[in-house]
Amino acid sequence: MNRRDFLKRCAAVGAGGFVLSNQALEVRVGSKHPNILYIMSDDHSTSAIKCYGSILAVVIETPNIDRIRREGMRLNNCFCTNSICTPSRATILTGQYSHVNGVTTLGKTLDRDRQNVAKLLQQAGYQTAVVGKWHLKSEPSGFDYYNVLPGQGKYGVLNTVELKEKGNPWGTKKEYEGYVTDIIADISLQWLRNRDKNKPFFLMCHNKAPHGLWEYNPKYEHLYEGVEFPEPMSLWEDKSHRCEASRDAGRDILQLCSRMEDPTWPTGQLDTTGMDDTQKKKAAYQKYLHDYMRCIASVDENVGRLLDYLDDEGLSNDTVVIYTSDQGMFLGEHDYYDKRWIFEDSLRMPFLVRYSSEIRAGSVNNDIINNADFAPTFLDYAGVSTPSDMQGSSFRTNLAGKTPAGWRRSMYYRYWMGTSEVPVHYGVRTKRYKLIYYYGLPSGWELYDLQNDPLEMNNVYNEPSYTGVVSEMKAELSRLREHLGDTE
């Protein structure tokens, strides 16, 4: 289904200063420096993108986002190193893990004097801009232009949308009428039209959607009307296999149901009169998915507007286009909503990329990539060497279809923002196994065999047949922590 058909159907239904080194700005002689359009949504699960082929793919439509995959590549194993908004964004900008860039939780502020990829691209002659959700507290640095939401920002359904634009004192807010996803695209397109066309550009277009509370554009209120979204098997998981630390934790669908029963719920109160808990869970899951996917409809529409602009201006072949999210999101898996956990649905980031000069259309990559790799990759496309204080690695060669010798076979994760709902934990994931350690009180270990148990519903940590695997995974976890300097 093309964009016009879809819209027709929708209408019907370590802190410190940073000194740039000569090595960091070493540009490859003779290399072509493409534009980079980086589109990131908030809390967009791979399950909610049709081309990822989840159980939802039979009922959802994301034609413009899918176009990037059709004309480029889908990454199947792209992961975040700390599955929460602010820390993930800091890692993407700095190429550093949370314990190094200092942004470990939602309450931390990114030091604006710290190096980031925008500063390096500026120095290399790129025009740089960020529009939309920022969520890093400090004023953006390294950007020729910014126009960002204060904090979490508002959807614009019940309130006007406020943004803070460069050129005004930091903290000054301007009000916009309309829906936030449309406004972010409008401002992004305006910047693209007014840019210096003699320079390559780096534009970060950051959507608020589909972050909760999932206030969709009213024009999509009938989208997916009458559709029953398939339920994930783990929605009904018996968590007795889990260790004590995680067994009773998590933000579950019944908790979400209680919130939706409030008359002030922004997309309308959920009426559960006469329902038992099973019926309530089913009803809340359906409302959650309907609201969530209606938010994504606006995201997809505006991705189409940006792609159309590139086509109309003859820029498509000269622009690396990326669509991703700051982390994954639970859509009922493990009976959860929200993110934070190392479990797959929270850990995995969607990542679709198009660049016809190097990336084969319709291709797939299964290498283990993480969000610390994003900045080095952007720099690689710009012909800039990765500075030594970045901990990620460029995956440009991987995107071109060749996995470099010695590419990582495991990735390290740590969630620092412990609460009674989600305990602090760290772990390691390889292609086949995942080992998790909950280091609070109570503490505990879990091991999952992703080959035999892709839904992570059977903790095999204490099974005798996995004793050797446990030892190997603990050794790998220790190696990664030592290598990355997270030995606290």
Q: What is the pLDDT of residues 306-334, one digit of tens each?
A: 999 999 999 999 999 999 999 999 999 99
In 294-358, DSSP assigns E strands to 319-325, 330-331, 337-338, 351-354
Tens of pLDDT, residues 341-387 = 999 999 999 999 999 999 999 999 999 999 999 999 999 999 999 99
- Measured between alpha carbons, how far is 420 from 465 in angstroms, rounded to an integer? 33
Tens of pLDDT, residues 163-206 = 999 999 999 999 999 999 999 999 999 999 999 999 999 999 99
Top-tier CATH class for 3-13+32-256+284-403: alpha beta
Q: Are 259 and 280 in contact (CB under 8 A)?
A: no
Q: How many residues does the chain have?
A: 488
Helix axes 85-94, 374-381, angle to 10 degrees: 30
Range 223-255 burial, b when 16+ CB lie within 10 A, else e = bbeeeebebbebbebebebbbebbeebbbbbeb
Q: Where are the domains of the chain?
A: 3-13+32-256+284-403
Tens of pLDDT, residues 214-272 = 999 999 999 999 999 999 999 999 999 999 999 999 999 999 999 999 999 999 999 99
HSE value, Cβ hemisphere, 13 Å, CA-based, for 178: 12
- Measured between alpha carbons, how far is 55 from 230 in angstroms, rounded to an integer? 7
- pTM of the predicted protein model: 0.93
Amino acid at 99: H
Name the CA radius of gyration of the chain, rounded: 22
Tokens of 177: 């009428």
3-state SS class at 244: helix
- Measured between alpha carbons, how far is 333 from 239 in angstroms, rounded to an integer? 12
What backbone phi and psi angles, to 5 degrees, belong to 301?
Answer: -55, -45
Q: Are 210 and 42 in contact (CB under 8 A)?
A: yes
Q: Which helix (H) or strand (E) holds 279?
A: helix 277-312
